[in-house]
Amino acid sequence: MIFKTVQTTGTQSRFNEAIAHIVLMSYTLFCLFPIILIVINSFKTKRGIFNEPLQFPNFKTFSLDGYHTVLTQGNFGLYFFNSISVTTVSIVLIILLGSMAAYALSEYRFIGNSLLSLYFAIGIMIPIRLGTIAILKLVVSLKLINTLSALILVYIAQGLPLAIFILNEFMRTISSEIKDAARVDGLSEMSIFFKIIVPIMRPSIATVMVFSMIPIWNDLWFPLILASGDKVKTITLGAQQFMGQYVTDWTSILAVLSLAIFPVLLLYMLFSKQIIRGITAGSVK
Amino acid sequence: MNNKRKYILLFLAPAFCIYTLFMVYPLVESIRLSFFKTVNNGDLIFVGWANFEKMLTDPLWYNQFLNGLKNNFYFFFIHMIIQNPLGLLFASLISMRFLRASNFYRTMLFLPTLLSFVLVGFIWKLIISPLWGITENFLIFFGLGDWFQPWLGLPETALVTVALISVWQFIGIPMMLFYAALINIPDEIIDAGYCDGLSGWSIFWKIKIPLLFPTIGIISILTFVGNFNAFDLIYVMQGAIAGPAFSTDILGTFFYRTFFGFQLQPGDPNLGAVLASMMFFIILTGVCIYLFLIQTRFKRYQL
């Protein structure tokens, strides 16, 4: 009886698998098509873009004019550098400060411990943008308006709640024997944290990194409000404003889009395993 | 003992200070500001509920607020009926046992989520633009040429179009969360179902879906918070005025316009604060409904 059921599901599953492939493949094409379309057309002349949008560029339609305009007219190198610095510094500090706080919350029993955990957890659900008006006032009074530091501080505040939550959950699973053994060996609390806890935490640190990185890199709201000066623009804001100005210059717009896709794609290829693992591990809990 | 206290302070203080100063304080201060009025010399005057009254009774503001709220619920509705069921469908297909290339599909379906709003907005704006004609020619090829319209330019279709583009961008998130939950269901339970003679279809509905209820709850609340906080995609595609004729205006874009002003209307930080407080209240209500009404009921299904 059992044998029979398994057999029927076996033949059925081949059919199901074919249908699954058809559905998934069609949707994959739907995900990729817009991206491919933009990239191939960015290498064409205006005539080529409009006359044969679905063709790969050939010797008649090939042109780098768009890239030329973008690289000579925009400050894209600087914007890109700004984005990289803001994202990197924010992520490093989110992870450092977040894991320190999570360690204190999970390791030590003290009055107000669970209340503090709850206090940090509120920030997971309530978007920081609702405080924008007061953030702008605060940033102005601290004389940080139009600086990258303003963005970094806001992004740290935005990223900490989820970081502390995930790291705290994970730290509770580390056995206390390891830490007690280290204490007997005379290690200070600081060195226990940095030499023992942090290395064990690597997988969940990767999770936090991925979760915090995407919204920071892609944010438009805070750069628009706190740092819109030309020297401190991020790539997201820079691209948005460039495209607003060159709204009819299709070759340049397509070139900007392609240039902006490239770093994300590169990052994705480097981290894709980590991203998938991070997301599945984070939610499995 | 004293030593321990020193370390608690040392480990907690930096995170606590930054979080309090840049997140909790601004939220509280925004709510406080909504009860004040800024006069010409920059001083604040306490006005009680007057700002709220203005927002909820003055037709100039009231109509915009109601329109934004309505559109926001519609935006959320589209995500709930399209993004999340499709995410579940793809996750179930990808998590099928013995499916080849499942890693590849997972990676590809998650790709749009990584692109920024600016990229997604402009890419789709170009693709469905009547000027370029890509979409139109596509529809003509399938004999559906009559269907084509300048979707983003028509008040009746603009909001759906933007919502669907947002679905395209974010479908990876529910897909991934459903996937994680699905692969976590023990094989024995599924096998037991097959042995009892259940079809794949009824296994899905009678075993997997009940076990997925907690995940469905989490995804719904994440979608809710995300949608009521949305701004970027609409700003990129339709501008701060959320045209045509405010048909794509949601609370986020209305908040931005109220605070910063646009065209002839000057910005008003206090009315902006009122909107922020109301959005805060709406999101909080949603989160509380989830925490106290929905989540507690799912507990018994946990494995």
pLDDT of residue A7: 45
Cross-chain residue pair A30–B30, CB shorter than 8 Å:
no
Cross-chain residue pair A97–B15, CB shorter than 8 Å:
yes
User: Would you say the C-alpha torsion A283, A285, B4, B5 has a positive or negative sign?
Assistant: positive
Among A12, A21, A133, the residue with its CB nearest the CB of B273 is: A133
Cross-chain residue pair A283–B15, CB shorter than 8 Å:
no
Cross-chain residue pair A133–B259, CB shorter than 8 Å:
yes
- Average the pLDDT over each of A198-207, B45-54, B55-64, B155-164 and give the range with the smallest value: A198-207
| First-residue to last-residue Cα distance in chain B | 41
Model confidence pLDDT, tens digit, residues A51-94: 777 778 888 888 888 888 888 877 888 988 999 899 999 999 99
Place of tokens 């042995």: B195
The verdict on B12 touching A (C-beta cutoff 8 Å) is yes
Tokens at A222, concatenated? 């805070």
Better-scored residue on pLDDT, A2 or B39 = B39
List of chain A residues whose C-beta atoms are within 8 Å of the C-beta of residue B176: 276, 279-280, 283
Cross-chain residue pair A31–B168, CB shorter than 8 Å:
yes
Q: pTM for this structure? A: 0.87
Model confidence pLDDT, tens digit, residues A269-278: 776 666 666 6
* Cα–Cα distance measured from residue B189 to residue B232, given in angstroms and rounded to the nearest whole number: 43
Task: Please check whether residue B208 is in contact with residue B185, taking contact to mean a CB–CB distance below 8 angstroms.
Answer: yes
CA-closest candidate to residue B104, choices A16, A19, A32, A257: A32
CA-closest candidate to residue A153, choices A205, A224, A227, A237: A227
Measured in residues, chain B has a length of 303
Model confidence pLDDT, tens digit, residues B282-297: 999 998 888 888 777 7
Model confidence pLDDT, tens digit, residues B113-125: 888 788 888 889 8
Its ipTM equals 0.85
* Cα–Cα distance measured from residue B2 to residue A182, given in angstroms and rounded to the nearest whole number: 20
List of chain A residues whose C-beta atoms are within 8 Å of the C-beta of residue B283: 125-127, 130
Task: Please check whether residue B92 is in contact with residue B204, taking contact to mean a CB–CB distance below 8 angstroms.
Answer: yes
Measured in residues, chain A has a length of 285
